[in-house]
Amino acid sequence: MSLRGYILKRLAYTFVLVIFVIVLNWIIFEFMPGVQGAIAQLQGNPRATSQQYQFFENQFGLNKPPLERFLDYFWRMLTFNFGISFQTQHYVIDDMIKTGRLNNTLLLLGTSTVLSIVLGIFLGVIAARRRGSFADTAGVTSSLTLFSVPTFWLGISFIIIFAFYLNWFPAGGVVPSVWSLGGYKPTSLFVEALVRLQYLFLPMMVLTLISYGAFLLLTRATMLEVLNEDYIVTARAKGLSERTILFKHAFKNASLPVVTASALSFGAILSGAIITETVFNWDGLGHWLFAAIGWKDFPVMQAMFYILALSTIFANFISDLIYGIIDPRIKYQ
C-alpha cells in the first residue's frame, strides 16, 4: 500500500474513532450520578425560585429530550463550541483561550516534556553504554525513585526549600500578582521573560524530574537490545567514533518505542498537570479542570476530556507516519 493510501485509510479510522469518543464522552456525563453544577448550586440555596431553575434548564438545555441534547452536544463537539460554563457563565472556549490558560499549559507542559525527553534519552544512552557501572546504577535508581515520588510531595518540597528557605523562586502563580491586577508591568520583553521564567522554573522542574525516568528506562532497554548487533560491531571495527555509533546507528534503530512514548507525551500536553498546577497555583488547563470537577461543571469537563482524546489520537497518527521515516523497513499496510 502506498503512503497516500495508508494516510487515507488511517484518516478514515481516525474519523470513526473520533465519533466513538464523542458518543462515549456524552454517555459518561449523561449517566454520571449527581446534579450538574448550575442546578446543584440552586438546590443549596433556600431562596432559589422556580424561575431560576427554569432559566438554567433553558440555558443549558437540561429540559430537552435526551436525543435532542445529544444532537446539540454532538454538533458542539464537531464545531468546538463547547457551550457555556456552569461556573463562570462564559463560553468554555473563551475561558480556555482568552484567559491565557491554554498558553500557560502549553508553556509549562511543553517545556517540561521536551526537557524530560531530551534528558531521558541522553541519560538512557549513557546508561546502556556503561551497563553495570555506577552511572548506570545511579541513573536507573534515581529515575525509579523520582518516578515513584508523589507529585504533590515533590512540589511542596520544592516550594519549602527553594521558595521559603532559600527564597530563590516564587512559591506559585504564573506572574506577579501586581501584573494580574493590572498594575506595574515591565516594558522590556527581556525582563518580562526573566520574571516569567522564575515562576515557571519550579513547576517545570517537578514535571521534568517525574517524567524523565520513563524515557531513561525505555531508551536504556531498547539500546541494550541493539548494542550487541553485528552492524554495531562492524561500525566499531571501521573506527567510527562512539558518539556516531551510539546516536546515529544504535539509537536510530532503537528509537521506535521512544517515538511512540514521546508522541503520547506531547499528545497529553493539553490535558494539563492537575496536581502540579494546583500545588503551584499555575493558572492552566489542569487547574481549571480541577476547579470544574469541584463545581460539577460538565461542559468544561466534557471539553477537556474530548480535547485530550483528540490529542492522543492525533499523536498516535503522527507517530505511525514517523515510523516509516525512521525505519525504511516498515511497510505501510
Percent of the chain with pLDDT over 90: 6
Per-residue CA distances from 223 to 187, 200, 227, 255, 263 (Å):
49, 33, 6, 8, 19
Taking only the tens place, the pLDDT of each residue in 284-297 is 888 888 888 877 78
pLDDT for residue 282 is more than 90: no
- Domains of the chain: which residue ranges? 1-33+64-97+296-333, 99-283
Taking only the tens place, the pLDDT of each residue in 132-163 is 888 888 888 988 888 888 888 999 999 999 98
> For the residues of 184-214, what is the DSSP string, one character each?
---S-HHHHHHHHHHHHHHHHHHHHHHHHHH
Residue 159 is predicted with a pLDDT of 92
Pick the closest to residue 53 from 67, 71, 39, 72 (CA basis). 39
Pick the closest to residue 287 from 90, 81, 105, 111 (CA basis). 105
Which has more pLDDT, 128 or 32? Answer: 128
Pick the closest to residue 279 from 163, 146, 193 (CA basis). 163
Q: How does residue 328 score in pLDDT terms, banded at 50, 70 and 90?
A: low
Taking only the tens place, the pLDDT of each residue in 46-91 is 555 566 556 666 666 666 777 888 888 888 888 888 888 877 878 8
What are the backbone dihedrals phi and psi of residue 84, each rounded to the nearest 5 degrees, phi first?
-110, 135
Q: For the chain, percent helix, then strand, then coil, each to nearest 5? A: 75, 0, 25
| Domain 99-283 homologous superfamily, CATH | MetI-like (1.10.3720.10)
Q: For residues 73 and 26, is the Cβ–Cβ distance under 8 A?
A: yes
- Amino acid at site 14: T
Q: What is the mean pLDDT of the chain?
A: 80
What are the backbone dihedrals phi and psi of residue 110, each rounded to the nearest 5 degrees, phi first?
-65, -50
CA–CA distance, 209 with 73 (Å, rounded to integer): 39
> Which cell numbers hold the place of 122?
541522553
Taking only the tens place, the pLDDT of each residue in 216-232 is 988 888 888 888 777 77
CA–CA distance, 300 with 90 (Å, rounded to integer): 11
CA–CA distance, 101 with 243 (Å, rounded to integer): 41
